[in-house]
Every structure is written in C-alpha cells, then in structure tokens.
A and B are shown apart, each in its own frame.
Chain A
Amino acid sequence: MMEPEEIVSKIQAAIADAQVRVVDMTGTRDHFDAIVISPSFEGLLTIKRHRMVYAALVEEMKGPIHALALQTLTPEEWEAQQ
C-alpha cells in the first residue's frame, strides 16, 4: 500500500523536470493512475517513457503497487491536449 504522494516523489526524483499527478483509482492504495509530464520524454517511444517511470518504482511494482496506469507526455503534448 502506498500514498499517491510517495509515488509522485519517487517519479520526480528519477525523471528530470517531471510534473506528476497520481490518483488512487480504487481507494485501496494499490491501483493508481499517473500523468507524468516531462521534457525528457521528447522523441521517445511510449514504451520507453513508461519504462522510465517503472524504473523509478522497481521495488514498489513488485509489491505495494498492483497497477499503475500511465500517461507520459512532453509539455508540448500536454498543451496540445488541453
């Protein structure tokens, strides 16, 4: 079990200039939805971006986190979506 804030910190520690929002999807503190916005995603395939996020949470993915749905965007891509 984890708090969304802990996940945010881990991702920010690992990915430069990341803006992160994490939501607990089920209230059971183990299924999360995350949006990560970072310029370091530029030019990377989605799978590469997701790997970067999972790399920040290696131990957590083995236990406390059962599911982590991801959206990984550059700031420009985020703007384009608004």
Chain B
Amino acid sequence: MSESKKISLPISGSTSVEANDSPENSEQGGDILSEIAKINSDNPVVLYMKGTPDQPMCGFSAAASAVLSSYGKPYTAVNVLADPEIRQGIKVYGNWPTIPQLYVGGELMGGSDIVRQMHESGELLEVIERALAKVD
C-alpha cells in the first residue's frame, strides 16, 4: 500500500503585505516561491499534480502519481488545482511550463515523460531511496 501525504495549502492570498504592495504577480510571486522552496526542502519527494493520487484530474498526473505510488514509499502530493498561486508559482519556480512536476531532494526531475523514462530505467527508485535515506 502506498502512502501519500496530501498537503493542504492556503487557497489564495499573500502571507505578507508590504507598503508598496502591488497587485501584480511579481509581488505575490516572491512569497509563493518561498512557500514552494519550503515544501521542496521539507519533503524529500514532492509531486505537483492536477488532482490527487486517488483522484487525478489529468492523464499525465495520473501516470506520474501511479509510478510513485507503485514504489510503496511515502511521497507528498500537491494538488495544484486547489491553489492557483501554486499552480502558477511552480512553473515560475523551476522554469518548467507543465504539470505534473516531480521534485526529489529539492531538485526538479521533470514531468511525466521523464518520470516514466526514469522509472523504466530504474533510476527513479534509486533517486527516491537516496533522498529518503538522507531524511533518516
């Protein structure tokens, strides 16, 4: 059985307000990027996906989460559909245009194509086990 921890994140809104706060994305961008950085450093394996592992909302996200779940190791799934700031922020954070995105040990691995290729070569399980070992 696989375990995945579902993170619930604030739905919207910056967590800090500055005097010259502008409504443009670049001001809010800073906070969401820090939030994402924190998620990625607090959790060794993070899949940003559409929907959840139990209810994926897109075929690519379904495939990526299925691969991760098949390993039976804990991972963190972030549902970007539940948080528009994360959905946009994660694309800026890693300069990667699509969802799903897999981060292991704080590093972007890639999207569903790469997850599948790394899975087939055995590389993905290795990388995940190494990252989980560092946590202990």
Interface residues of A (CB under 8 A from B): 46-47, 50-51, 54, 58, 61-62, 67-71
Contact = CB atoms under 8 A, between A and B. Distances in A.
A54 B6 CA distance: 29
Contact of A67 (B60, B96, B114): B60
A54 B118 CA distance: 19
A70 B113 contact: yes
23 contacts: A46-B110, A46-B113, A46-B117, A46-B118, A47-B108, A47-B109, A47-B110, A47-B114, A50-B110, A50-B113, A50-B114, A51-B95, A51-B96, A54-B96, A54-B97, A58-B97, A67-B60, A67-B98, A69-B60, A69-B112, A69-B113, A70-B113, A71-B113
Contacts, number: 29
B48 to A, nearest CB: 15
Interface residues of B, number: 14
Contacts of B108: 47
Nearest to A54: B97
Interface of B: 60, 95-98, 108-114, 117-118
B131 to A, nearest CB: 16
Contacts of A61: 97-98
Nearest to A65: B97
Contacts of A67: 60, 98
